[in-house]
Amino acid sequence: MVLSDTFAQKLITAQQNLSQVQTSNSIENLNIDKPIVTIGSFDGVHRGHREVLRQLTDYARQTGGSSVVITFWPHPATVLGGCKQPGLLSTPNEKRQLMAETGIDWLITLPFTREFSQIEYDEFVSKYLVDKLHTNTLFVGYDNKVGRNGRGHFAEVESLAKRFGFNVRQLEMLASGAAPISSTAIRNLLSEGKVIESNQLLGRPYCLSGKVVSGNHIGTSLGFPTANLEPDPCKFVPGNGAYAIKAIVSNSEYIGMLNIGNRPTIGDNRQTIEAHLFNFSGNLYGQTIEVYFVDKIRDERQFASIDGLRAQLESDCKTVKGWFGI
């Protein structure tokens, strides 16, 4: 199935937007005209983030300033907690593209190290935001904190803004029901297989991209050849189960089904991510594909026989085609 003109145009527009954003891994010698700044991890660039960025870019246009986003890599939790990456909703490249869609002028990605994490909030404001960046206005999210151990709450930052002569604006929380929209909430929903709910908070289908690697060809023997996906190791993987998906392969769009799990019927304890694309023929090995999660159709389960597994796959295929009306 060839991409629709609308989808193809979205891809073209995304690349154009990306080329218009200026990026830097340092805050030194940037010479940005009238910086209107916000700071955060922005993992997933979800609806709450997009509202912050909408207000940031609108204000920058209205006041003749430049919209600037300061973010960090690696994720602060990796450095501060000494733990594995928390499972990111967006890789650095994905975040850059999603940020570009919002129309920001600058994306500054600062290296987050343990030494950097020890900077007190007043030093961060004076050294980075004032002396180096010459911030005109700082947009602060409802729960944003800056500096060592998050000691720089809005009241402290507001006091520093008055001392150093820049403006600060605090934004209200964007909620879904009573709960705030957050990256953590989205991860929890994806872990539970609540794809529709997580996509509502993201504002788009959740995407998992990766290289297709060789498998053991069991799907092919069952009549359902699969692409075995190897995603970026930092990327969050939804909970085990079978899903309805859309996939992008070489600028073509396919509908399909995907299984995440340990294949208990076969006795394989390794987690695999296997996508079966309807109406696709060809060799995908070594290619990078993008998978968009539409809905979860069932939990992972163990079958009494290979024939039972084949029958379930046939049923899953009918379910997914019915979901898409094909």
- Phi and psi at residue 21, in whole multiples of 5°? -85, 130
Residue 198 located in a structural domain: no
Q: CA 240, CA 269: separation in Å to the nearest integer?
A: 13
Same structural domain for residues 30 and 169?
yes
Same structural domain for residues 274 and 141?
no
Residue 2 located in a structural domain: no
Residue 200 located in a structural domain: no
Which one-letter DSSP state was computed for residue 152? B
Task: Name the domain count of the chain.
Answer: 2
Residue 13 located in a structural domain: no
Helices (H), the chain: 5-20, 47-63, 76-81, 92-101, 114-117, 121-123, 154-164, 183-191, 195-202, 218-221, 306-324
Residue 61 located in a structural domain: yes
Q: Which of residues 120, 155, 176 is at a domain's end?
A: 176
pLDDT for the residue numbered 271: 85
Domain CATH code at residue 279: 2.40.30.30
pLDDT for the residue numbered 8: 45
Indicate the SS3 state at residue 217: coil
pLDDT for the residue numbered 145: 67
Residue 239 located in a structural domain: yes
pLDDT for the residue numbered 4: 47
pLDDT for the residue numbered 264: 61
Residue 4 located in a structural domain: no
Nearest-10 Cα torsion for 19, 203, 39, 77: -110
Angle at 182 between CA 187 and CA 324, to 5 degrees: 55
Among all chains, which residue has been given the structure tokens 């995440």? 260
Helices (H), 4-44: 5-20
Same structural domain for residues 283 and 320?
yes
Among all chains, which residue has been given the structure tokens 């024939």? 307
**Phi-psi bin for 246: left (phi > 0), alpha (psi -120 to 50), beta?**
beta
Give the DSSP H or E segment for 35: strand 35-39
pLDDT for the residue numbered 296: 97
Q: pLDDT tens, position by position, for the chain (326 residues)?
A: 334 444 445 555 555 566 689 999 999 999 999 999 999 999 999 999 999 999 999 999 999 999 999 999 988 877 776 555 568 999 999 999 999 999 999 999 999 998 988 989 899 999 999 999 999 999 987 666 675 655 657 788 889 999 999 999 988 767 676 678 999 999 999 999 999 999 999 999 999 999 999 877 677 667 788 899 999 988 999 999 999 999 999 889 999 999 999 876 666 677 899 999 999 988 899 999 999 999 999 998 887 678 888 888 999 999 999 999 88
Indicate the SS3 state at residue 22: strand
Same structural domain for residues 284 and 171?
no
3-state secondary structure 226-274: CEEEEECCCECCCCCEEEEEEEEECCEEEEEEEEEECCCCCCCCCCEEE
Residue 87 located in a structural domain: yes
Same structural domain for residues 91 and 228?
no
* Domain hosting residue 65, numbered range: 21-176
Same structural domain for residues 115 and 211?
no
Tokens for 28, please give them. Answer: 């030194």
Same structural domain for residues 31 and 166?
yes
Count CB atoms within 10 A of the CB of residue 81.
10
Global pTM value: 0.89
Same structural domain for residues 172 and 218?
no
- CA atoms within a 13 Å half-sphere pointing along the CA-CB vector of 167: 13
Domain CATH code at residue 25: 3.40.50.620
Q: Are 102 and 54 in contact (CB under 8 A)?
A: yes
pLDDT for the residue numbered 55: 94
Which amino acid would we find at residue 167? N
Q: CA 198, CA 89: separation in Å to the nearest integer?
A: 11
